[in-house]
Amino acid sequence: MSKHDQGAPLGRELLAWLDEAATHSLPGPGVTRLFCSAEHRAVLERIADWMCDAGLEPSLDASGNLVGSSPRAKAGERTLILGSHQDTVVEGGKYDGMLGVALPLMALKVLRERGIELPYGVQVVAFGDEEGTRFQSTLIGSRALAGTFQPASLDARDADGVTLGEALRDFGGDPDAIPALARDPERVLGFCEVHIEQGPVLEQRDHAVGVVTALTGIERHRVSLSGKAGHAGTTPMPGRRDALVGAAEMVVEADRVLNATEQLVGVVGKLDVRPNAVNVIPAETTFTLELRSPDPERRRAGREQLLGAFADIAEARGLTLDMQQTYSAEAVDCADWMIEALEAAGEAAGQPAERLFSGAGHDGLAMHDLTDIGMLFVRCRDGLSHHPDEAITAEDAEAATRVMMAFLRGLDERV
């Protein structure tokens, strides 16, 4: 513990909560907690305790979210929704998602202990499934609240052949009742999420917190190349139609373009080779290309540049090219009033809170269809996320909690 952390009692208590939550995980490095799993059920019991400490009444909704509601929220008054997701990637960290569940509950707990009653309703949501690790069906819980849930996603199966609908019923949810979870926009003040930055900007600025301006747009493509297999020892090098060599050239080109383009990032994250034999020229290679940018025009231009280059490479190497878009989610802006309210809260708490955009997707992508959204980032060590070594300090946790307390108190004028 650093000498700074010793003076951060709320931060230390918050990290202790998060340490306990992290014990509800499959064996192995880091935290692995999948939607509708035994680990999910166990962590909700602890989150329910936090909700009660914060003066909220917890309940499991039909989509697998745990929702803590204040008396004003239960009475139907206009309500601010806070929260994040409890699920993780495989061998992830203890702060991605869970920080955004625990921190607002800590802020509400302290306000309650000080006798401060907020003049509006509050709900804190531990969303069931944001990462999509088990069923590859992201944002289930937030889409349910936003009224954009797609019933077809209930047919998605995990590695054991269990459908999402079956798992949800076994967990205590009710797939048939999910449409009724959609919130009335007129009764919602907005949605605010706290999250580790998952990047290095706050460390570079030496700031504990930052205010997010937009959530990035994301698109994914499947790129397939077909060449011709042959004996690796007897086929002359000139004229080979090697699908893997073509794919390798495309990967390098993608890296070059992404490094040369501001506010555009991406990755070739998966690659499959057929026949994948030690002495056979690869006949088919398939890889994924993901592009992210908060600027849709920049993302479109980058995509066209890359796909055009891929076509040229394929033609030069005698390969057949097939490119299919498999996923797309447009960027969404955080509401100006929410950005300004979080900045004002940072100032009130003595914390500089400069603006930055999020290069990752969050539950806000879905909640934006319901209401105005805002997001507070918290500095994480080395910008690391989706990794067992994910870390924040108690001092930063304290700072972010105090910013959230100021934010909640500063919303009086919007009620």
**Given this model, what pLDDT does residue 208 score?**
98
Contact 169, 175 (CB under 8 A): yes
CATH fold group of domain 217-329:
Alpha-Beta Plaits (3.30.70)
Above 70 in pLDDT, residue 343?
Answer: yes
How high is the pLDDT of residue 360?
A: 81
What is the token pair recorded at 18?
């998060």
Please tell me the predicted confidence (pLDDT) of residue 327. 80
50: Cβ contacts below 8 Å, ≥ 6 apart: 17, 101, 102, 105, 106, 109
Pick the CATH number of 5-216+331-414 from 1.10.357.10, 3.40.1160.10, 3.60.9.10, 3.40.630.10: 3.40.630.10
pLDDT in tens, 257-316: 999 999 899 999 899 999 999 999 999 999 999 999 988 999 999 999 999 999 999 999
Distance between CA atoms of residues 269 and 96, nearest Å: 20
Domain ranges in the chain are 5-216+331-414, 217-329
- State how far the Cα of 3 lies from the Cα of 21, in Å rounded to an integer: 25
- What's the confidence (pLDDT) of residue 140? 92
- SS3 assignment, position 153: helix
* Closest to 5 (Cα-Cα) out of 376, 391, 390: 391
pLDDT at position 136 is: 76
| pLDDT for residue 4 is more than 60 | no
Q: So what's the pLDDT on residue 328?
A: 81
DSSP string, 218-281: EEEEEEEEE----BTTTS-STT---HHHHHHHHHHHHHHHHHHSTT-EEE---EEEES--TTB-
Q: Over the stretch 199-223, which tens digit does the pLDDT of each residue have? A: 999 999 999 999 999 988 889 899 9
Lowest mean pLDDT among 130-144, 295-309, 340-354: 130-144
Confidence at residue 375, expressed as pLDDT on a 0 to 100 scale: 98
Q: Is 260 exposed, middle or buried (0-12, 13-18, 19+ CB in 10 A)?
A: exposed
For residue 331, name the pLDDT band (cuts at 50, 70, 90). Answer: confident
pLDDT in tens, 58-111: 999 999 999 999 999 999 999 999 999 999 999 999 999 999 999 999 999 999
Mean pLDDT for all residues in the chain: 95
Q: What is the pLDDT of residues 231-264, one digit of tens each?
A: 999 999 999 999 999 999 999 999 999 999 998 9
State how far Cα 279 lies from the chain centre. Answer: 41
Hunting for tokens 């506010």 — which residue is that?
263
Determine the pLDDT at residue 3. 47
- The SS3 of residue 165 is helix
CB 98 within 8 A of CB 19: no
Structure tokens at 223: 């790129």
* Cβ atoms of 124 and 84 closer than 8 Å: no
- Whether the per-residue pLDDT at 162 is higher than 50: the answer is yes
Q: Please determine, for residue 1, whether its predicted confidence score (pLDDT) is greater than 50.
A: no
